[in-house]
Structure formats: C-alpha cells, structure tokens
Amino acid sequence: MSKFKKSLFNPETLQIEVVPYSVVDYVWWSLRNVGWIVLVGTGSVLLFDIAFDSPKDRAQAREIAFLEGQVLSFENDIHEIEGVLENIEVRDDAIYRTLFGTDPYPEYRRNPGIGGADRNRVLRGYEHTEDVANLSVRVSEVQRRLVAQSRSFDEVMELATTHEERLHSIPAIQPVRNDDLKRMASGWGNRFHPIYKVMKFHYGMDFSAPTGTEIFATGDGVVVKVRRSYTGYGRHIVIRHGFGYETLYAHMSKTLVSKGQKVKRGETIGLVGNTGTSVAPHLHYEVSKDGKKVNPAHYYFNDLSPEQYELLLQNAEVAHQSFD
C-alpha cells in the first residue's frame, strides 16, 4: 500500500486492486493517529505523576510535615504551661492564701464550664481535625484558668496590703496574764454546767482569777457591745476586730471601755468578776470567726512559748465542770 493508496480485494474480478484514499479514509486515519498520540501522552503524564512528585507536591508535603511538627510542638508547650499553672494554683491556695488566713480560691471560679454551640465546628472535616480541635480546647481552658488566677492574685495582693492590719486584729494573746491566773477552769467542749447540772457544750474558755484582775483586748478592734445583765454573761463586752473576728469577755466586775471605742491589743478593757450565771470569779472568753464560734485555744500564739501553748491545749481538753 502506497502512502496515499490502499489495496482492496475486488470480489467481481477476484483480484486485489490499488485504489486511492477517500476523504473518509483520510479522516479515519487522522482520528486514529491523534487518538494514539493522546493515549500515549496521557499515559505518560499519569505514569510520571505516579512515579515522580512535582515541585508543587513536594512543597506541599514539606509544608504539611512542618505543620504537623508545629501541632506536636504546641501540644508539648501547652502541657508544660498546664503543669506550671497547676503549680501556681497549688501555691496560691496552700501558701499565699493560707498565710493570709483566707479560704482557697473557689473551684467553680478556677474552672468555669463553657457550653453552647460547637466552638470547633470550623475545624471539622480535615485529616487533623481531632488534634487541632483538642489543642484548641486545651488552649481555651488554659486561658480561662489564667484569667481566674489573675483575679485570685488580685485578691491576694489586696490581702497583702492589709496584712499588717490583719495581724494586729487577730485575737492572738490571752485575755488574762499567766501570772494572774489561778487556773484555767474550763476549756472548749462538753462540760458539766454548775447550775443546770447537765452536760452542755462550752463555747469558750474560763480563766479563774481573783475579782478585779485586769482583762485585756486580745486584738485591735472596736467595742460593739457593753452590757450588764443579771443572768447569762453578766457584765460583758464584745469587740469586733474585723476580717471576720469577734471576741466576747463575760462575767466582768467592771467594764473600762464604752461602745464604739477603738481598742488596741493588750489594752485593759475590764476587770474579772462573778456577774451573771457564774459560780466563782472568772473570765469567760469566746472567739468567733465569720459568725461561727471557734476554739480560742488555737489563737494564743503571741504571748506563749511552745511549751506553755502545748500545756494550755492539754488543760483545755480536760473535761471538767465549767464556772458558767
């Protein structure tokens, strides 16, 4: 077959004849060759893509690897930050707030919950969705805890500015000198009442001393009550020290201060007596913190040696009859 001719079998003559290409033949020949070229070219491109990465693919792969490494690095950084923050929170509650005599920072304020719609919905649908979403949640938690810790430190700073005033206000001495005491008649706890002849809880301490013995304010404060009664506490005084502290001094023979008067720790405020529901000269002394009566023995740390303080605690725990 020549370049522009083709051989055909003629069934009538039973011979092979050479005839020129028709227009249809030229079209078919062109389409066939173009098809082969397209097929070979496409196959070559696909094979090249499979066997070899393009520069763009290699750049994207490097970028993905870099971002994955950054996510891992951020996770480690957040873990370290969480550890440091937890240590700060523990020190805040166990040291700073304990030093200033206040309660730990409330847990509901340290870790406030967040609700509502899915905050990470824009991150959904990707290969690393879970990692990035978890990282986002942890970052948000750290941010909330940092804000809460900052507010806590603001409170601690305020406590620090009033620390000296607080130290002077705490009822930290005995209301009667040791040299003037006959004995500590009764301490905190269940005691046999000398008049009612029943067991009652004794919310304070009784200091047995001669009538006329000086009684001292145990901390700085303001006198909020000076009252005389023929029953109960008898002639008694209440001092408000601030920071949640109040003290009561009962069964006095004489009061030496007036309501509204400011007093200093160690200042004489009255004299021991036997007024009200009392069977012998003594001072009944109470301490209240935030409206709740507490054991006064826990506050005698300014004028007693460790040995004296330990002896006082032992005597306060002895269950015997009170004087009121």
- Quickly tell me which residue has 């200091």 as its tokens: 207
Cα(46)–Cα(235) distance, integer angstroms: 105
Instruction: Give residue limits of the domains in the chain.
Output: 5-51, 55-161, 171-316
* Lowest-pLDDT choice from 54-63, 70-79, 218-227: 54-63
What whole-number distance in Å separates Cα of residue 293 and Cα of residue 167?
19
User: According to CATH, what is the number of the domain 171-316?
Assistant: 2.70.70.10
**Worst-scoring range by mean pLDDT, 68-72, 112-116, 264-268?**
112-116
Q: How confident is the model at residue 114 (pLDDT cuts 50, 70, 90)?
A: low
Distance CA 33, CA 47 (A): 21
pLDDT band at 16 (very low <50, low <70, confident <90, very high): confident
Q: How far apart are CA 305 and CA 224, in angstroms?
A: 31
> Given this model, what pLDDT does residue 315 score?
57
Angstrom distance (rounded) from CA 91 to CA 66: 38
Neighbours of 110 (CB within 10 A): 19
Mean pLDDT for the chain? 79
**Which phi-psi region, left, alpha or beta, contains residue 306 (left: φ > 0; alpha: ψ -120 to 50)?**
alpha
- Answer whether 88's CB lies under 8 Å from 150's CB: no
> What percent of the chain has pLDDT above 70?
73
Which residue has better confidence, 123 or 201?
201
Helix (H) or strand (E) holding 64: helix 55-91
Mean pLDDT over 135-147 rounds to: 86
> 182 or 64, which is more confident?
64
Residue 277 reports pLDDT greater than 70: yes
What pLDDT sits at residue 273? 95
The pLDDT of 226-241, averaged and rounded, is 94
Name which residue leads in pLDDT, 90 or 221: 221
Q: Mean per-residue pLDDT for 158-178? A: 84
From residue 292, give the alpha-carbon distance in Å to each of 42, 200, 217, 300: 89, 17, 19, 18
Residue 215 has pLDDT above 50, yes or no: yes
3-state secondary structure of 117: coil
Residue 2: pLDDT band with limits 50, 70, 90 = very low
* CA angle at 288 for the pair 286 and 294, rounded to the nearest 5°: 75
- Under the banding of pLDDT at 50, 70 and 90, the label for residue 324 is low
Cβ pair 300, 172 in contact under 8 A = yes
The whole-number average pLDDT for the span 174-201 is 65
Q: What pTM was estimated for this model as a whole? A: 0.52
